Every structure is written in C-alpha cells, then in structure tokens.
Amino acid sequence: MRHLSLLFLSLLMTSSVLWSNNFTDDFVTGDPGIESVHAMAFGPESILFVGDSEAAQVVAIDLSDQKKAVNDGMIIKDLEQELSNLLGTTSDQFQIIDMAVDPINQNVYLAVNHSSGKSLLFLVNNNTLEPVSIDVVSYSKTELQNAIAVDAKDGRGRSLRKWAISDLRYADGKVMVSGLSNAEFASTFRAISFPFTEDDMQSSLEIYHAAHGQYETNAPIKTFTPVTINNKQQILASYTCTPLVVFPVDELEDGKHIKGRTVAELGNWNTPLDIIEMEKEGQRYILMANSNRALMKIKVSDIESFGDSLTEKVQERAGTAGIDFINLPFVNVQQLDKLNESTFVMIQRDANGILGLKTSNNRWL
C-alpha cells in the first residue's frame, strides 16, 4: 500500500511538472522581432504578454528566470531623471508606455519607447531601474488577423496603426486584446487562445457614447479589465471622453457584432489610462487612472445594481451620468497596476512636475 501511495505521489508530481511546462513547450530562444510596445500584461508562470501594434502581433516572453526584486518601500522619486541617466539622453527623447506587475513575485516592469523607435523594458529593483533584454528571450508569438492598416489615418491625418492594440489582459486561458481592425466596424475585441494557436476569436463592438450622444463603432477601447458582475464574466471597458461599458464574455463570438451596455459617462475631454480591480473587507472596487481626471473609485456592487444602459446624451459639458464614482486625491496618475491584494503601484506626476513611481494601499477603498 505504501508503494502504491508513493507511486501515485510520483505520478502526481510528474503530471504537475508536465502541466506547468505546457505554457512554454513551443517557446523558442532568440529575437522576437518586437517593433513597438503598446501594452503589457502578465499571464501564468511569469509570462509577459507584449502587444506590438506596429508589427500587429502579441509576443509572450518567459520571465520566470528573473530574480525577485527588492521592493520594500518601493519608490523612485524621479523616473525621468533615472531613465535619462540610464539612456544617456533627455526626457523628451523617450516615453513610458506601460507598466505591468508580475503577480507571482510582485516584480514591476516598465516599457519605454525611445525616439529612435526602439522599445525597452526595465525592472524596478531596490528603488532604481534595471534593463531587461527583449532582444534575446524565450518567447512565442502570434500575428493579429485583419489589424488596422499601417497607412490608415484618422480624420486629422494621424496614424491609426498604434491602435491595432490599445490594451490587453490574460484571463481563463485567453489573451484578450482590444484595438482597431480593418473591418467595417473597426472597434475590435479579440480572445486569443494561449498557448498560441490559430484560434483567434474576433468580435466587432458598438457602444452608446453619452458624451457624444451617438452610437459608435470606430473608436477603440482604451483600457479594460475582466470582472465578475452578478456572477457572470464581463469585460469592463472605457473609451475616450469617457464612457464605461460592460460586455458579457459569453456573447463575444468570432465574427459577431456586440453592443455593449453603457453604465456610466465619467466626463468628456478625458482619456482613461488604466483600470484595475481591488478588494477590501469583501467589497470590490474598480480604480481607473485618467489623463485629465483624478483617480476614480467605483464600487462593483454599484455596477451590479445598475440594470440600465445610458441611451441619452449628457447635455452639460464634462457632465456625468449613470453609476456613481468618487475622485480619489491622486491626480496626474499616468500608469496604474495592482501590486498585491492590498496595494497598488502607480506612476504619478506631482505638483512640482516630477514624475515618480510610488505605491498606495486599500485604505483609500
């Protein structure tokens, strides 16, 4: 009996190892050919997903061998100066594009685009930044089908290619990607199976934009997060000027046109930047960073109890409608992510003009 138990335990451990390695079985080592970084998110086993709009691809990079950073009292007082020193240039020659936290070890990574066109990755470690190579890595990747064309322009003549991927997340074995396609209804949501296969679900989206007083199909989601609402998986998404919209995950089917339910208008002349979910004492909250608004707090329970959808224009300029929200005393928050169950990390430009990286916690919830 003891031998059978040991055999069973051995088989269990072996199958566990095999299962855990399935995510990287098809990874190769080399240069993934990243042309640009427009969005990042972590998946299982310290795998970083990079949304590359210029190349219209999603790249999965294995960062499981990265050391655990020292992040006690995490703070970088002057990020732009730190990056200027590392890159040997001035702050007008680079832009911090995104920030992502590895939930396994709470490592914080920053993506930076340089004026030369090169994208760079940095690890926050012991209140400083360390370069992380994305030129020679263990990776897998997949191309987006029918991405917005390289030469596509908006009404002002600006390139739309960077919106091929506007945001991405990983959930339930899928890499979820928002952005623009070449379809008639350009606003697109994709659910790509991972490990990558040719199973690429693509839906077109339509929303009612209360600030504009019209239905829209050509503006991309700017930021989103998967959320359970009334025991059902939903995508909570926000767009420029600033509608907050719910899309049921089970309605997102390949080739299907989906109409979202607009649950709030949070004020125009604003672009949402990042959205996360936090919890305190059993109550769930949404935090959203914005270009021209303070950090917003929204109760998930308020979304659950709001059964309507906005269908009328908000008349007052910068007016709001729908579910309630609270402006937290954090302004000019440019990047936001969840560090752990009680703490979030943000990049914020202070009143003195200095861009810093810092943390706060759920006492604000």
Output the pLDDT for position 208.
Answer: 98
Q: How far apart (Å, rounded) are the C-alpha atoms in residues 213 and 262?
A: 12
Instruction: Return mean pLDDT, the chain.
Output: 93
- The DSSP code for 137 is E
How confident is the model over 220-236, as pLDDT tens digits?
999 999 999 999 999 99
350: nearest Cα among 342, 361, 358:
358
Output the pLDDT for position 197.
Answer: 87
For residue 118, with 0-12 CB atoms within 10 Å meaning exposed, 13-18 middle and 19 or more buried, which class applies?
Answer: middle
How confident is the model over 244-278, as pLDDT tens digits?
999 999 999 999 999 999 999 999 999 999 999 99
How confident is the model over 11-33, as pLDDT tens digits?
343 444 344 458 999 999 999 99
Alpha carbons within 13 A on the beta-carbon side of 43: 26
Output the pLDDT for position 21.
Answer: 52
How confident is the model over 106-125, as pLDDT tens digits?
999 999 999 999 999 999 99
What letter represents residue 197's amino acid? T
Whether residue 32 is preceded by a cis peptide bond, meaning omega within 30 degrees of 0, is no
Q: What is the mean pLDDT of residues 206-211?
A: 97
- Is 100 a residue whose pLDDT tops 70? yes
Question: What token pair was written down for 57?
Answer: 């691809």
Q: What is the mean pLDDT of residues 169-184?
A: 96
Q: Which residue has the tokens 């693509």?
A: 202
Q: How far apart (Å, rounded) are the C-alpha atoms in residues 175 and 212?
A: 31
For residues 2 and 116, which has the higher predicted lDDT (pLDDT)?
116
Output the pLDDT for position 301.
Answer: 98
User: Could you tell me the CA-to-CA distances from 303 to 6, 248, 289, 308 in Å, in that order?
Assistant: 50, 13, 18, 10
Question: Would you place residue 10 in the very low, low, confident or very high pLDDT band (cuts 50, 70, 90)?
Answer: very low
Output the pLDDT for position 72.
Answer: 83
Residue 273: alpha-carbon gap to chain centroid: 9
Question: Would you place residue 200 in the very low, low, confident or very high pLDDT band (cuts 50, 70, 90)?
Answer: confident
Q: What share of the chain is helix, strand, coil (3-state, %, to 5)?
A: 15, 45, 40
Task: Write the DSSP assignment of 140-200 as a string of letters.
Answer: EEEEPTTBPPTT-B-TTS-B-GGGG-SEEEEETTEEEEEEEBSSSS-EEEEEEETTT-S-E
How confident is the model over 75-93, as pLDDT tens digits?
999 999 999 999 999 999 9
Q: Using alpha carbons only, how large is the chain's radius of gyration in Å?
A: 21
